[in-house]
Amino acid sequence: MIIGILGGTGSEGSGLAFRWALKGHDVIVGSRSAERGQVAAAELNRLLAGRGMVRGAGNQEAARAAPVVVLTVPYAAQTAAAEEVRNLLPGKILVDVTAPLVPPRIECVQLPNGESAVVALQRRLGSGVRVVSAFQNVSARHLKDPDYEIDCDVLVCSDDNAAREMVVGLARDAGLRAWHAGPLANSVAVEALTSVLIAINKGYKVSASGIRITGVPDADKK
């Protein structure tokens, strides 16, 4: 699968790129500057040491080449990044990883206009883009350690069942346990939970708290 990651030079985007490349996916690390994308890709390829391969590109080229586009930018850049490629998105799957954190109090939920950031994005892009919400709760911290079992589940929300199913699969390819978590509107829980986890990180002096879903008997089957 060709996967284009917008903002792929950041820690979350490059971490996911690393894990997907390990699994054999053809990952394009996108950046506003093609050169920065290529520099980040070269670094990832050194880390991958032949176990997989990524390439770097500008965000537009990444979005053009890939049927699955992943948006991993800070909230303040979400709209601009999506606008940069919006004409390339119809018919594609757009995976939004954005948590609407509002500095400096990122440990406090501050939903923009009282709604999910990804619901606002879907409305902006129109129903022709297959928007899926995922990965907001996963700390980037251990993504580039291929042997590290990340102790955090991925809640995947979308109004497009087939697109959601594909992203659940991509999460599993990244070595993560993933769940169908309902319609796109349910993403508000996941986005807000990011601030709760930051509050727990601060309050309990840890760096990467996460969540697990319990009570599903075959939960350990990926």
Pick one of 110, 146, 169, 172: the residue that binds a copy of itself (CB under 8 A). Answer: 110
* 145-150 contacts at long range (C-beta below 8 A, 24 or more positions apart): 146/18, 146/19, 146/22, 146/51, 146/175, 149/175, 150/175, 150/176, 150/210
Q: How many residues bind a copy of itself (CB under 8 A)?
A: 43
Which is closer to a copy of itself, CB of 88 or CB of 198?
198
Pairwise CA distance, residues 172 & 169, whole Å:
5
Q: Which residues contact 164 (CB under 8 A, 6 or more apart)?
A: 132, 156, 157, 158, 180
Cβ proximity to a copy of itself, 39 vs 106, nearer residue: 106
* List of E strands, 23-92: 26-31, 54-58, 68-71
Q: Does 152 bind a copy of itself (CB under 8 A)?
A: yes
Pairing outcome for strands 130-133 and 154-158: antiparallel
206 binds a copy of itself (CB under 8 A): yes
Q: Which of 46, 103, 104, 216 binds a copy of itself (CB under 8 A)?
A: 216
Longest dimension (CA), the chain: 47
* Residues 5-44, mask of contacts with a copy of itself (x by CB under 8 A): ----------------------------------------
State in angstroms the smallest separation of the CB of 187 from a copy of itself. Answer: 8
- Interface with a copy of itself (CB under 8 A): 107-111, 113-115, 139, 151-152, 155, 179-183, 185-186, 188-190, 192-193, 195-197, 199-200, 203-204, 206-217
